[in-house]
Each structure stands twice: as structure tokens, then as C-alpha cells.
Structure 1
Amino acid sequence: MKDKRILTLFLTIFIDLLGFGVVIPILPNLAKSLASGSALPFNPDVAVGVVVGSFSIIQFLFAPIFGSLSDRIGRRPILLFSILFNIVGYILFGLSSSFVFLLLARVVSGFGSANIAAAQAYIADITPPQDRAKRMGIIGAAFGLGFVFGPPIGGWLYHAGGENGLRWVGFFTAALCGLNFILAWFMLPESLESKSVHKRKVSDTFKGLVTVWRLDVIGELFLINFIYIAAFSMMYGSSSVLWKEKYLLTPAGIGNIFGFIGICGAIVQGGLIGVFTKRVGVRRMLLWGCPAIAMGLMIIPLPEVGNTFYVVQAISIVLLSLGNGMMMPAINSLVSRNTPPQSQGRMLGLLQSTSSLARAFGPFIAMVLYHQFVSLPYLVGGGLMLVAFFFSLLLSKKLRVSDPDPVPNPSKE
């Protein structure tokens, strides 16, 4: 990374997502356990979807606002404030002793998730359009590395802490976010040169989405993104419960599986995105990602308990990593290409808001389906990706004419 700002931004996102990854192997089963001892109007399986989805509902409501605010006051303040929200959220997570308290912790952390939209806008500020897909992959690589180290660390801390395992996880994660704040404060300068004067309200989130979804190309990209994220999050929202209840995995074992997901994701998004972008192009990346994710989802619940479980999960993870590694930067890049420079933060914030809404619905729907039959979330998720593939085919015909894939210039490589 020749640009020090990109390196610093990568480290900032990585530390933040490392903290997020730490809670992944613990949160769903913790939510189900706390819900089982509470008088709630829904069953414990659905309670898992509520807790996991609450984080994303807050993202949905406020990510576009923070994205637009970053257009007006700059990227740096938004990044710093979002990290502070994460510190508070993870402290509350470590102190959670009831379902309601755990829900509150995830809501607060949801406010801190605005940094991804600001980070995407930051990259768009300092990157030429033809290089954005590759650099957007940096965010995916940070996600991947956060999953490489975060879930195994979380599973180990929860086990090593014994009765205080939850506090170990929460306070460790809050400390990571504190380190993140220091890093961003001293090493991340402002990237926005021309600031907008437009102010946004909470209601503008809904108005903006209605407007965006009517736009040619952009609206279709938002629809494909919604389906893709919803299907993918159905796996994340239910797999920890499946692996514990059907395959008897411990939090440490679940953390190790998510760690392997992170390794594959980091390899694909950090090392192969540049190759895919130059040799394949973002249009084909979008097309090829859909069936890869569909197949990866559908085979997750197929094996019985035994050695075949790990083989099938490994195949599934590779397919999911390839599909996700192609689709996420392709969608981000195509949205960015079709958006004026002064609206990058707002549009990417709206895209993240759409993703957040999908992540809220995905786990909730997954756990409703899981309560009926444990394999349903993965079969339905795979079916949704085939629908996304159909829409991608229709969009591909437009992109081939109006926004062809760039031909790389060897002299600039």
C-alpha cells in the first residue's frame, strides 16, 4: 500500500472489525440462553434474530445520515465518533446479564457501525474511479482478517474467563476500540476537499431509498445487494446455533470455523480482487458471485455429525468466500462509478443502509425458519441467490453497453 492513508484506514477498519469478530461465536447462543430465562413474546430462536438484527436496524436508520454528515463535516469526525460508540457498546456487552441489557448493548454498537460508510467514502475521495473496486476490496480484507483473528480470540477468551468469560470478551473488545480511536486520531487526516451543505433527517433515510430504488442501474444494484446480503446474513445469523445444537461445537470450535471463514475471505478479497477486476471485470464478478454463494449456502446443513462435517463446511466456506469476495467490491464499485463525486458519501451510506436492512431481516427470517426446520435458512438463502443471479443477468446487458469493464493499461500496472 503506497498511500499511507490507505494503510492507516485499513488498520483502523481492521481493529474495529476484530472487535466485532470477537463477539460472533458467542452472541447468538448467549442471546438464546438469556431469552430462555426471560418472559418474552417470542420463542428463544426468534430472540436470536431480534438481537442480531437490532444492530443492523440501527445501521439502516443512521448510516445514510452519518454518510451524508461525512459529506458535510468530513470523514474524520464521523470515524472518530463511531469508534466511541463502539467502546460504550462493548462495555455494555461485557456487563450483560439479561436479554434486554444485551439488546441495548447491540443497539449502541449499531450506532458505532457508521464508520464503514465513512471509510468507503474516504476511499472514494482518494482513489481514481478505475481503481476503486480494488481499493474497496481493502474493506473486505479488513473484514476477512477481523474474522481470522476475532472469533478464535472471542471463543478462547470466553472459555478462559470461566464465569467472567463474557466480561473478558466485552472489556477486551472495548480496549481494542480504544486503541482504534488513538490510531485514527493521530494518523488519519481529513480526506474531503469539497464539503456539502445539505442536512439530513431520519426520515430522509426512507425518502432517499425510495428515490434511489427508482434509478436506472443504481436501483437494480441496490436490489441485488439487498437480496445478496439478506441471504448471506441468514447463514451468519443461524450457523452458530446450528453448529452448537446439531454438531455439538463449543464457542471455541465455532470461533475456529469463523476464523477459517476469515482466512478465506482475506485471501480472496485482499489478494485476488485486483486480479478479478483486471482479468474478469466487475460485471462478471457480479454474475459469478451469485451461484457460488447459492451453492455454498445450500450444502451447510447437509452432513451428519462426523468427519464429513468439516469437509463440507470447508467446501462451503471456500464457495462463500469466493462469491462474497467478488460481489461486495463489484457492487460498491458499480454504485460509485454511477454516482457524482459530491454525493459519494450519501450514496454509499444509502447502500450500507440497504445492506443493514437486509442484515436485520436475514437473521430474523433465518431463525424463524430454523425454528421450523434447521436446514430451511440455508435452502431458502440459496434460492434467494439464484433470484439475485437472474436480476444480475438482466443488469449485465445494460452494463455491457452503458458501463463496459475497463481495459487495463499495461504501462500503468
Structure 2
Amino acid sequence: MAPSSKAVVGLVFCCLVIDLLAFTIPLPLFPRIVEWYHIREATGSSDSNLLSWSLSSLHSLRSAVASHTLASPHLHVKKWDVVLLGGFLGSIFSFCQFMVSPWIGILSDQYGRRPVLLASMVGNLLSTVLWIQSTTFASFLLARLVGGLSEGNVQLSLAIISDVTTPLNRSKSLALVGLAFSLCFTFGPSIGAYFASLPLPSTPLLLSTTRELNIYAFPALIALGLLLVETGALWWLLPETKGWKVEEVAGGKKEEAEEQVVVVDEVERAKLLKRLGRLHGVFLFFFSGAEFTLTFLTYDLFGATNAQNGRLLSFIGVLSSLLQGGYTRRASSLPLLLAHRGILATSLGLLLLSALPIYPSSYLLYAGATCLAFTSASVVTGLNAFVGGLEGGKEGRGERMGRFRSRGQMGRAIGPLSACAIYWVLGPSACYASAGLALSAVAWSTRSLVEMEAKEKALLKKKIA
């Protein structure tokens, strides 16, 4: 007997939470990981000098293009080379996602969601195994490459939920993806920071290996365990959803029917998708750069430990989860308006963070983090819900979601590196202030989309009445 749509949505949500927990575990560890590799290679305890060569080259380049930063006694420039290299690590993962997302969508339309998702899980497992054994910067870089090329879980989860839901309940169901992100940013970084502070347990399996392991092999092992559980659940419980027969619920409530946004003209629909894709990419270009450098900022200004960075990210996740469970689900009938408000909140949050180097205060830090929490609960959730709810078109749902996500991942690929480069040359204040002002302009440009959505809703209400 085939499972119900609700059961499939519940399974996908639970597996996505497990997957994103594994993904968020290393987030607060990046500054210390780079620092650990640097110390190893500087002392000759590593057989690779890629990191030392990279940091030396960055220092020489900054001496040529921004010598004023080296002479300033008020700036923590010794750590800025680590920040830029961290931005490269964040960018390379997302660039791989940009390359493969359309192909993952096309393959899922051709061969089905389930086999492509299981193949993606194999790549995730391999990436985590490489991380456990990475004692050189080059091997850690390889783990990030493998992970980026195989991570298709979020994109395929969006396609599966869209497959099994009706237009009446699709927006609320897709909002669960945003809730999964919020929950995992609540617990994942804290889990990573906690297990990073513990020694690796002396189990027979670990004692039997003669290889030296990564300093953070313990959190990596936790991530590996989570991915194994997820893979097993998907293998045993997930049905194929491509071509799923969705039964419309008769006699739906008027307020549920009003959640649909009807775009009749195919040419206009294609233009709208292209515009939303650009908006997705531009927004994530600025937001991901600030998001990625946040733990480096606290490391730079306050010398934050893994645990302190974990608490900061958990605060963002807790608040975002509360917003997802309340405000976001109630506002899901107007997803573009939801996204517009989130972009405004991002702009305000980044401008607050830009003042931190001048007024280093934990209150100011958490005020900016509060704005970013609202962003996490609104922008991408709103855009995904709107695009997932569009019907028709020549391309399959997997391909459409893949291309839309690919444009966002291109923003995520360039964003961290660009933000870290501005941070590296001009300092953190210029980095966050420029991103905040740019997002103000992006928010201004989305007003026409919000107006279009409101008009569509008004027309639909008249038809229903």
C-alpha cells in the first residue's frame, strides 16, 4: 500500500532535518579548522604546504593592494588572511552546487527522485569520510568538493514535496523546508561545537586504524552517523514520487484556495521565473557573504571559541524556528511579500553588524543576529514556495527547481569569497555596510513583484466570490 502524501511530506521533512544537521555541524568550526591546518603546516607536522603557500600569497597580495591595513594598529589584520581563505572554502562548495543542480533536476525528471536522491547520499557519505581523515588542507578541500558536487537533498526535497501536494497546501508544506533549516541552525552548530571540545572516544574501530585523523574527527563521525540513518530511512521508506497522482480535496476553504497564485500566460510565466531566479541569486550573493563571515567576524573581534560561535548560530536558529512556526506559516499566502520583508530585515541587520568594529558590543551583535533570523525564516522560504507553486511549463518540476536553485547557488558561490575579499582589503565595517546598502536597493526593486502578487490575489478572490 502506497503511503499518503502527508506521510511522504513528513518523511522528507525528518530526513531533511537529519541531513541539514550533518551539514551545519562544521559551520562554527571553520575558523579553527583553517588555523589548525596552518599551525600543522607551519611546524612541519603535515606533508602538505598548500595552506601555508596560500596564506603567504594572500599576505603578499594584500601588502601590494592594501598596505594601509597592515600599518593600522586598530585592525586585526593578522586574522584577515584566514577570513579570505575561509570564504574560498564556502564559495567552492556552492560553486559545485551551481554546476550540478540543473543536472540533478533533469536526472530526477528522467529517472525519478528516489534513485537520484540515494545517489546524492552516497556522495555525502564519501565527503564526510574524507573529512574524518583529512589531516592536510588539500584533503579537506577535496572533501568540500565531493560534498558540493553530490549535495542534492534540499533541491530534491522541494521537488518531492511539490510532487505530492496540491496547490491548496503546497505553500505551507514547502515552508517546512525553511523550518528544517531553522531547526538545524539551532542545534547543528551547537552539536558541532560540543563534540569538537571532546576527545575522540577510544573505540576498537578507531584504535584499529593507523591513520592520523582530523582534529575534529569526532563531530565528523557524528555527521557520518546522521547521514547513515538518513540513507537507511530513504532506502526503506521513500516511494517514487515522479508522476504522483495528487487528489484534489473537494470543497476546500476559501482562504486555502486564495493561496494559489495564477500565472496564465506562458511567456509571462517564463519571464517571471527568470526574474525570480536573478533575485534569488542576487540576494544570496549578499546574504551568504555576510552569513559566512559572521563566525569569522566574532573570531576576529572577540576571539570567539567554537562554543561561542555555536551559541550565536543557535540563537539565530531558535528565533528563526519560532518565526517559521508562527509568522511565516501565517504569511505563506503572500510568499513574495514575505520575501520582500525579509530582504529589508537583512539590510538592517548588516548595517548593525557594520558598526561592530567601531562599537564592539554583544548587544549590537545579537541585534544584527535577530534581523538575520527573520531573514532565514522568510526570504528563501517565500521564493521557494512561490516557484514550487507555479504549475505548467515545458520543463519538469525537478528541472525548474534545479535551475532556480542553481541561480541561488551561484550567488552563494561568489558571495562568501567577495565578502571576504572586501573584509580582507577594506575591513569588516565596509564589508557589512556595502552589503546592507546593496540589499536596500534590492528590496526597493522587488516592490513591483509584491504589487503583482497582490493584484493576482485580488483577482483570485473575485473569482472565488
Mapped partners of 1:328, 1:271: distance in 2: 16
**Mean Cα displacement is larger for which, 54-63 or 374-383?**
374-383
Unaligned 5+ residue runs, structure 1? Answer: 196-211
Contact preservation (8 Å) 1:22, 1:173: yes
2:383 aligns to what?
331
How far off is 1:16 after superposition? 0.5
Contact preservation (8 Å) 2:25, 2:188: yes
Q: Secondary structure at the match of 2:58?
A: coil
2:295 pairs with 1:264:
no
2:298 aligns to what?
243
2:264 pairs with 1:180:
no
RMSD value over aligned CA atoms? 2.8
Mapped partners of 1:315, 1:380: distance in 2: 18
Normalising by structure 1, what TM-score?
A: 0.87
Mapped partners of 2:321, 2:160: distance in 1: 21
How far off is 1:71 after superposition? 0.9
1:150 aligns to what?
188
Letter in 2 for 1:59: Q
Letter in 1 for 2:11: T
Contact preservation (8 Å) 1:295, 1:316: yes
Q: Percent of counterpart pairs with the same letter? A: 25
Q: Secondary structure at the match of 1:277?
A: coil
1:205 aligns to what?
none
2:276 pairs with 1:221:
yes
Q: Secondary structure at the match of 2:271?
A: coil
How far off is 1:267 after superposition? 1.6
1:192 aligns to what?
242
2:289 aligns to what?
234
2:206 aligns to what?
none
1:366 aligns to what?
419
Contact preservation (8 Å) 1:86, 1:109: yes
2:209 aligns to what?
none
2:58 aligns to what?
42
Mapped partners of 1:357, 1:188: distance in 2: 30
2:428 pairs with 1:393:
no
The change in CA–CA distance for 1:252 and 1:368 in structure 2 (over 3 A counts) is same
2:8 aligns to what?
5
Deviations, residues 190-228 of structure 1 (Å, cap 9, x unaligned)? 111179xxxxxxxxxxxxxxxx99942112211211121
Mapped partners of 2:187, 2:33: distance in 1: 20
**Mean Cα displacement is larger for which, 174-183 or 38-47?**
38-47
Unaligned 5+ residue runs, structure 2? Answer: 42-51, 60-80, 201-212, 246-266
1:23 aligns to what?
26
Mapped partners of 2:437, 2:35: distance in 1: 27
How far off is 1:354 after superposition? 1.0
Alignment of 1:292-371 (within 5 A): 292-303=345-356, 309-340=361-392, 343-371=396-424
Mapped partners of 2:403, 2:38: distance in 1: 32
Contact preservation (8 Å) 2:5, 2:165: no
Q: Secondary structure at the match of 1:351?
A: helix
Letter in 1 for 2:143: A
Mapped partners of 2:18, 2:190: distance in 1: 15
Contact preservation (8 Å) 1:28, 1:238: no
The change in CA–CA distance for 1:252 and 1:165 in structure 2 (over 3 A counts) is farther
Larger radius of gyration: 2
**Mean Cα displacement is larger for which, 33-42 or 294-303?**
33-42
Of 429, 433, 438 in structure 2, the residue corresponding to residue 379 of structure 1 is 433
2:106 pairs with 1:52:
no
1:208 aligns to what?
none
Contact preservation (8 Å) 2:171, 2:389: no
Mapped partners of 1:77, 1:146: distance in 2: 25
The change in CA–CA distance for 1:94 and 1:301 in structure 2 (over 3 A counts) is farther
Contact preservation (8 Å) 1:294, 1:382: yes
Mapped partners of 1:173, 1:120: distance in 2: 22
Q: Secondary structure at the match of 1:39?
A: helix
Alignment of 1:114-129 (within 5 A): 114-129=152-167
Letter in 2 for 1:146: C
Deviations, residues 352-372 of structure 1 (Å, cap 9, x unaligned)? 111111111111011101112
**Mean Cα displacement is larger for which, 325-334 or 148-157?**
325-334
- How many equivalent pairs are there? 391
Contact preservation (8 Å) 1:290, 1:323: yes
